[in-house]
């Protein structure tokens, strides 16, 4: 196993780096890394149903989809991410969250903390979740990765990871809500996150008997940046990849009652029925058909419509 240093904090680059290294590394890999503020949704989730899109838009927080399953998480520089990529000659289930998280449990014991594994993939201390984990299998490789809240802005986390439209109906994977806590709050003598991360890094290197520590080469960085631009910066992956869903909404206004029903596939409106006092608004329907189900995008399309605000609020 090798340890790859990851000082980059660009969330788009970092998620692309995981995918690139998983697909191209010939050795088992361990990495610790951090992101600037970002919301990361699971591969099979509906971003609009998991994230407070108005809040992230107003606060310039990107929403990025990862290649692994599981629920939505908030990253900032108070959070540490751990990734372990391993190869197995065995067939069958390669995913083992208990094995992946055991080193963290052992590491925290030296601080007097009794962390425990709970549910399918969480770590808790004093009944508060500080780590959620997910995995992705590629051929005979498996990538386990997890978040470790150390001094994350929990107030912002709560505002970000908030269900969007209550009118969305789909079969996407839903995040499981839990009471969370920062590890720094559990420590009697908390240290800075940089010190904590450095101590965790050394513990993991010793735990896994790692004797090769590398940086990403210039060639690797260029390849990862290429993947970042081609995939992770695109709306089609981050939002449009959501499973197909429907939206049903109704709103009473001073003008009358608006009712909207639409179907969305790959992030775009494939069918729509827009009614005002029971009458179809066919011209507006035609304008919206085939468009991205994205609030800012649709606001531009309906900018010259008298009922645009009501319609948008009903759609979202």
Residue 254 is part of which domain span? 245-315
Q: What is the pLDDT of residue 251?
A: 86
Q: CATH no. for residue 284?
A: 3.30.390.50
Is the distance from CB of 248 to CB of 170 less than 8 angstroms?
A: no
Identify whether residues 101 and 228 lie together within a single domain: yes
Start-to-end Cα distance in the chain: 47
Last residue in a domain, options 195, 219, 238: 238
- The closest alpha carbon to 48, from 178, 166, 134, 176, belongs to 166
pLDDT by residue (tens digit) across 29-80?
A: 999 999 999 999 999 999 998 999 999 999 999 999 999 999 999 999 999 9
Same domain, 266 and 121: no
| 192 shares a domain with 172 | yes
Q: If pLDDT is split at 50, 70 and 90, which confidence band does 310 have?
A: confident
Same domain, 259 and 215: no
Q: Tell me, what CATH number does 25's domain have?
A: 3.30.930.10
Please state, in angstroms and rounded to a whole number, the distance separating the CA atoms of residues 151 and 62. 20
Same domain (yes/no): 129, 43 = yes
Domain stop point among 171, 203, 238: 238
Overall number of domains in the chain: 2
Beta-strand pair 63-65/38-41: parallel
User: With 80 as the cut, is the pLDDT of residue 315 above it?
Assistant: yes
DSSP string, 57-68: HHTT--EEE-SS
Which one of 238, 259, 291 terminates a domain?
Answer: 238
Indicate whether 289 and 155 sit together in one domain: no
Distance between CA atoms of residues 73 and 91, nearest Å = 30
- Mean model confidence pLDDT for the chain: 92
Name the more confident of 201 and 167: 201
Lowest-pLDDT range, 164-173, 175-184, 251-260?
A: 164-173
Q: CB–CB of 247/261 below 8 Å?
A: yes
């Amino acid at each position: 196993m090798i340890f790859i240093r990851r000082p980059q904090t660009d969330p788009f680059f970092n998620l692309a780096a995981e995918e690139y290294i998983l697909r191209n590394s010939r050795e088992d890999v361990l990495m610790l890394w951090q992101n600037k503020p970002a919301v990361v949704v699971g591969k099979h989730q509906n971003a609009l149903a998991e994230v407070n899109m108005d809040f992230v838009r107003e606060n310039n927080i990107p929403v990025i989809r990862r290649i692994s399953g599981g629920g939505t998480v908030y990253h900032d520089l108070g959070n540490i991410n751990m990734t372990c990529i391993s190869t197995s000659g065995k067939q069958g289930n390669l995913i083992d969250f208990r094995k992946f998280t055991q080193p963290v449990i052992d590491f925290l014991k030296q601080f007097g903390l009794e962390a425990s594994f709970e549910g399918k993939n969480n770590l808790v201390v004093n009944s508060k979740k500080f780590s959620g984990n997910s995995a992705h299998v590629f051929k005979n490789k498996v990538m386990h990765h997890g978040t470790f809240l150390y001094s994350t802005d929990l107030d912002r986390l709560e505002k970000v990871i908030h269900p969007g439209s209550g009118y969305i109906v789909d079969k996407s994977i839903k995040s499981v809500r839990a009471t969370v806590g920062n590890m720094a709050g559990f420590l009697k003598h908390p240290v800075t996150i940089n010190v904590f991360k450095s101590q965790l890094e050394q513990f993991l290197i010793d735990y896994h008997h790692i004797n090769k520590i590398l940086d990403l080469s210039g060639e690797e960085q260029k390849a990862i940046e290429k993947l970042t631009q081609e995939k992770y910066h695109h709306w089609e992956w981050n939002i449009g990849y959501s499973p197909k869903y429907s939206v049903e909404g109704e709103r009473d206004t001073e003008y009358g009652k608006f009712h909207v029903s639409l179907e969305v596939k790959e992030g775009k409106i494939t069918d729509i029925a827009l009614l005002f006092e029971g009458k179809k608004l066919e011209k507006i329907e035609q304008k919206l058909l085939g468009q991205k189900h994205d609030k800012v995008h649709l606001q531009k399309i309906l900018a010259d419509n008298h009922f645009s605000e009501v319609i948008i609020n009903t759609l979202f």
